[in-house]
Structure 1
């Protein structure tokens, strides 16, 4: 073998182990390689069905790594591990064709194999089907065997192939679960870094901005600056712009903190909404109507969500009617859904997806001040709890925000 050929062989085997890790099957250690509990249980049931259909006492799903054969989902035998060199399936699985042998001791491919000679076992009847994914990768085989010679009918072989496809589906399920877990972990880490960055930037910018606004207020109080003069107008514009920027920094800082380290408990929606109403200084008893429901949520983040939604309702009220907001909820064994319904301007269906993105505002005539982070913050809070936020029209006009919170464990 040339050096180049040796390097190619190493690369192919290394790629096989990398692919197995993508399926959550780590072949690094000389120990039984097992899928997650749900997949393992399903594989065991599938192998049992395969042995009964074929009339064979033993069956396994083999995962073949660069160095080993790992038996998983075994029936009739204890799952174990052997070297790939000793494996019967390793000799044929890359052909991607089924192998059915009535007596392995008479087949030149297997006659001297330790599973046949008696060194490890005395296999006679042997049948295996490669487990081939849609991408062409073959992680191993579905194998049934016996210590007595045996023939299979064509329909039995066909059923074995069907069961092999089902085994592939189970491994693909674990593959997708592994990918989702990895993506979730990476997203969580990325969000944490982004939140930290946003918090530091907001904090660092807030200090000089606060200083600037302080000097603006000092100059505004100077008796030499007369109201109505050009200087006074410039100061008004600087102060207004600075306060808007400071409000945006506060919103960014708040947004960077939501979703992390939530500590859910059972919270009264009526009590949480009452605290928000008092914080916002809403004195009109008829403006906000609250109906109680118990929500399993982080109390602080629930208040932040309600505060953002009530602030939005006040900022985007309709000029044609007096504002009214109804906060209510429903609950069942799945959890609770709260509804914050107003009779304001509402949001057109084509705009409802984009307003949930950070820093997006519709900028309609007559809209109140805002940074475009309110609904995005609420959506983030909902997702952090394992729920979701949905927007739809209030009957008669306005916007209803529905937020789901799963039940407590």
Structure 2
């Protein structure tokens, strides 16, 4: 069967989907109220803010913000089509076909940076950055509502007939195995269709990388720009967070091709979970550190900054070298490393980085995120949200992967776990 019925319901089904879909936007709204230019957050002054319904409603439906964001999003869609790139095949799908993806992240980001620098040179200022900084709450709520609307669109779109080149018929969209339960709210949340596309434009890959990541970068730079306008100087903490997160963003965009083998693209459908995560959560939760520092001028000193960079560098080393080792092994380049044969005939790596834990790359990724939190010092727990959130996300991914592998490898998976007992952190978890 091309599209089997979903039997493994996650997040407690529709109840959990609704709770997450309402709870996370509410959390981002709190961040937007607490950290914005109109309501400076200072540790020791917990909640001197305007929480009124009228303020939130006005911010959510601000006409100028909606015009600005939709222009930004659909402008990026057009730019994505125009900017040249290379074309590569994705993984083999259930109907034995492979989708073709346009990989143009490097050229795309170069165009964005060039345009911003040209406008700075021509105008002597960047009104776009000032707009972002002055409309943080409005943009937060706009991103939340836009992601909801996009999830509704792709859910409805998944029911439209599709002519495919393999001749399977007119209703053979490939649905995501986790998102074909028949429960409307749950499938809308998880994502019903695996790879929703309009023509050759892949909605999921586009949202995974470009609009959310670039907005995150612009938010950070807007905070740096605002601090300079306010103080005439830039704190070392602000420079540090822009460097650490800017490097991460550019690294992600430059490694766009790697997304094609990730769980988000290979197995997950595109619904509200990914749309909200890509378009709202990433830019407005991951930028907490820069937004806090724009309101609190903090100099950390070079020894502290150097130690924070060292933690980030360690994280990058673990993350990239472990991923590269696994990739090389799959390509048959590391025959000297120990592996074990599974009942499916494939081999699982149990040597090198991958004898330390089943997801040693997750540890590296978490260390990178921890370095961002450390860049704000220890004045408030607010800026450590990412470290806690990302740890819970990685544990959830590990649990999902464990269930998937247990189903796929049967008794071989028990043997593998006996040889590599630690899940993420060696000798601890």
TM-score range, shorter chain: under 0.3
Greater Rg by CA: 1
Greater RCO, CA 8 A, separation 6+: 2
TM-score of the aligned structures, taking structure 2 as reference length: 0.22
